[in-house]
């Protein structure tokens, strides 16, 4: 009998243990006491200043936006391809009406068997081009057919991608005409309801459907039909400009932070027109606004502020009740949800923004509720509860112990640069301009009036300040370790503008026509191109540095020289090459 009872007793024991485990995992409906450091809710100061055990990573401004700097450093030193095959590519770039486009940049992209071949040149007054295609590096491929295509672009945003074409063996290939579609532009000014400009407002354009998007990114250019979304930041006068827009109809929304926002889309039709002017208005609706200041009452820029709906802090309760989003509780005036893309919805329980140059923050279109405002700078943390919508400005006072600040200027003109991304990088690293660090022009570059930036309470360890802006090489400054209470206000950064180069390459005074050229930095390929029929070569947006120029002629002769690119917008230089073994 005892042996027969052994199994039921074991099962019973397992059931009891399972029930105990489930009970321990069940959500606790008992109200939770938020203990902040040594202060209980009864003893917390009225301003809420107390340790909160917050995650510091949640309050790093640079983590809210992707890094606009992309590293493209080749892993291996440059070794020219053993196969010296090269061929001349010719053709024409035209408008939709068939007229030739002068001074367009033309690029050849090899495909399949020619995937490593490329070339670049410019059109003449009649839209014709003739350029060399060559392979700076050769990798194995299983393809048996040789294909290629040509793409062309102009500085004002016109872009065209030609058809993929079979490239026969031979010294020269004629490519089909490339039709250059003119890029559309939407511009205007962001204003408050009182007609005042809104500096730093974010304007987002979303196509109402699929549009034809041409791009030169990736291994080969492409033309796809897809929805198109892009965002720009208004300047110090509230002016914005959306460039290189594909033809189509767009809806514009705008967020002005402290000044308000407008999520109802303003329609702009660019299906027939090439440009459109559209002023945008922001308005304050169910807002929570305020400023972050230091202990002396001075505004703190670049501080991350979170607005949290206290009723949604309990994740278990939110999961049980169904977490609400802004689209659930904020209808448009016509009763339609304000958000077209459900993937962009954010839970109302937590939202974050970064203070502007005046230390201001603003959250708009918030539902009724009991909120709290939280910010953290280094070890200084502040929580303010009892926050409601449509009240007077709130004030968060943080203790600033150390800081790093400075002005960002153009290295050529000395004038302030106001639109840039500022980040702290760990360690004492390289500070020289690297041609392998490219700035993505589609990145988010906040407005810094007067070129001023500031980091309050930065980490106390070796750090670097890196500034990046479109049209410039990133600028890096080592700041080392900061002492307790140290304030460095003169950590200025000069940004070197990318240079549009026109080069004449010569050997013993004679021009070298239709020859491949490689610009090497640290023995790695930084830029490549080819000379035209008079020995000239143009390279756009080259980072200021000193390069070794290498040219390998069809007979295998190696020529080298040195090139120092100045920190200027454009330059015309001559490079004298000499034979090397």
Prediction pTM value: 0.81
Of the candidates 96, 122, 98, 94, the residue with the CA atom closest to the CA atom of residue 108: 122
Which pLDDT tens digits describe the chain residue by residue (581 residues)?
333 333 344 444 444 444 444 343 344 433 332 323 233 333 333 444 445 577 888 898 888 889 999 998 998 899 876 666 789 999 999 999 999 999 999 999 999 989 889 999 999 999 999 999 998 876 666 778 899 999 999 988 889 999 999 999 889 999 999 999 888 999 999 999 999 999 999 999 999 999 988 887 766 788 889 999 999 999 999 999 999 899 999 999 999 999 999 999 999 999 988 899 999 999 999 999 999 999 999 999 999 999 998 854 444 444 444 444 433 433 333 333 333 333 333 344 458 999 999 999 999 999 999 999 999 998 899 999 999 999 999 999 999 999 999 999 999 999 999 999 999 998 887 788 899 999 998 889 999 999 999 999 998 888 999 999 999 999 999 998 888 889 999 999 999 999 999 999 999 989 999 999 999 999 999 999 999 988 999 999 999 999 999 998 888 889 999 999 999 999 999 999 999 98
Please, which residues bridge with residue 426 across strands?
463
Cα-flanking dihedrals φ and ψ of residue 450, to 5°?
Answer: 70, 5
For 72, 420, 496, the CA distances from 470, given in Å and listed in that order, are: 16, 8, 11
DSSP-assigned letters across all residues of 491-502? --EEEPBPEEEE
Q: Which two tokens stand for residue 68?
A: 């606009």
Domains of the chain, start order: 87-179 (2.60.40.3330), 184-281 (2.60.40.1120), 286-397 (2.60.40.1120), 401-495 (2.60.40.1120), 499-580 (2.60.40.1120)
Angle value at C-alpha 453, between 449 and 457, nearest 5 degrees: 145
Residues 81, 87: Cα–Cα separation, whole Å = 15
Q: Would you say 231 and 240 are in contact if contact means Cβ atoms under 8 Å apart?
A: no
């Amino acid at each position: 009998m005892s042996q027969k009872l052994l199994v039921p007793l074991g099962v019973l024991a397992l059931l009891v243990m399972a029930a105990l485990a489930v009970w321990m995992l069940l959500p606790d409906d008992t109200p939770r006491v938020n203990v902040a450091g040594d202060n209980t809710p009864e003893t917390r100061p009225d301003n809420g200043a107390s340790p909160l055990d917050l995650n510091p990573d949640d309050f790093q401004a640079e983590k809210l936006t992707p890094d606009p700097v992309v590293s493209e450093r080749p892993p291996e030193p440059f070794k020219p391809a053993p196969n010296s095959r090269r061929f001349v590519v010719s053709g024409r770039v035209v408008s939709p009406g068939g007229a030739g486009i002068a001074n367009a940049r033309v690029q050849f992209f090899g495909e399949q068997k020619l995937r490593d071949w490329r070339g670049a040149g410019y059109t003449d007054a009649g839209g014709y081009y003739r350029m060399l295609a060559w392979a700076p590096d050769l990798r194995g491929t299983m393809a048996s057919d040789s294909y290629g295509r040509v793409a062309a672009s102009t500085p004002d945003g016109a872009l065209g991608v030609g058809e993929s074409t079979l490239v026969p063996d031979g010294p020269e290939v004629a490519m089909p005409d490339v039709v250059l579609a003119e890029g559309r532009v939407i511009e205007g000014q962001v204003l408050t309801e009182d007609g005042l400009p809104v500096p730093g407002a974010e304007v987002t354009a979303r196509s109402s459907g699929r549009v034809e998007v041409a791009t030169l990114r990736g291994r080969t250019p492409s033309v796809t039909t897809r929805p198109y979304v892009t965002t720009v930041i208004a300047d110090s006068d509230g002016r914005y400009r959306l460039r290189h827009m594909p033809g189509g109809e767009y809806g514009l929304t705008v967020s002005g932070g402290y000044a308000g926002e407008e999520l109802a889309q303003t329609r702009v039709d660019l299906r027939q027109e090439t440009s459109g002017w559209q002023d945008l208005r922001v308005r304050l609706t169910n807002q929570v606004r305020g400023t972050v200041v230091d202990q002396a009452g001075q505004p703190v820029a670049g501080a991350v502020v979170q607005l949290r709906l206290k009723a949604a802090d309990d994740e278990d309760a939110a999961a049980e009740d169904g977490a609400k989003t802004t689209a659930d509780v904020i209808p448009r005036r016509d009763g339609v949800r304000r958000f077209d893309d459900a993937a962009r919805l954010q839970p109302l329980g937590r939202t974050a923004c970064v203070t502007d140059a005046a230390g201001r923050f603003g959250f708009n279109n918030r539902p009724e509720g009991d909120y709290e405002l939280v910010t953290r700078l280094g070890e200084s943390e502040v929580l303010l509860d009892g926050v409601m919508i449509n009240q007077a400005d709130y004030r968060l006072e943080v203790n600033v112990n150390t800081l790093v600040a400075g002005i960002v200027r153009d290295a050529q003109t000395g004038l302030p640069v106001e639109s840039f991304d500022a980040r702290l990088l760990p360690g004492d690293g390289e500070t020289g301009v690297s041609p392998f660090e490219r700035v993505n022009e589609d990145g988010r570059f906040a407005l810094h009036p007067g070129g001023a930036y500031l980091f309050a309470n930065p980490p106390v360890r070796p750090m670097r300040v890196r500034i990046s802006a479109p049209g410039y090489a990133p600028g890096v400054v080592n700041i080392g370790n900061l002492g307790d209470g140290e304030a460095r206000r003169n950590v200025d950064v000069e940004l070197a503008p990318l240079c549009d180069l026109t080069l004449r390459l010569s050997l013993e005074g004679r021009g070298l026509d239709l020859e491949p050229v490689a610009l090497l930095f640290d023995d790695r390929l930084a830029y490549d191109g080819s000379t035209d029929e008079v020995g000239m070569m143009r390279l756009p947006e080259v980072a200021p540095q000193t390069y070794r120029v290498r040219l390998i002629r069809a007979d295998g002769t190696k020529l080298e020289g040195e090139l120092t690119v100045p920190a200027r917008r454009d330059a015309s230089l001559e490079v004298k090459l000499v034979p090397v073994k």
